[in-house]
Amino acid sequence: MKDTATMPPNLLKIAKIRSGYNQALNNLNEAKHSFNITSLRAPFDRIISNLNILPIVIKVNC
């Protein structure tokens, strides 16, 4: 299997479209944006109860 760096640009573009790569990249960017603008607000007195928080790690090499 050859590296995509040696693939002609027009074939690489078609491969990305057919594989759903571009759509996945757009979905990732939209999710990152939504995450960055998300806020959690308490109904009153800055108290949030009964909330379990799991750490979220996003690692992307784009």
Rounded distance between C-alpha atoms, residue 13 and residue 15, angstroms: 5
**Rounded (10°) angle between helices 9-19 and 21-36:** 70
pLDDT, tens digit, 9 for 90 and up, residues 5-50: 688 888 888 988 899 898 999 999 999 999 888 877 666 666 666 6
For residue 30, the model assigns a pLDDT of: 94
* 62/55: higher pLDDT: 55
* 34/55: higher pLDDT: 34
Q: Which amino acid is at 58?
A: I
Where along the chain do its domains lie?
Answer: 4-36
The predicted model scores a pTM of: 0.51
For residue 58, the model assigns a pLDDT of: 66
Rounded distance between C-alpha atoms, residue 53 and residue 13, angstroms: 40
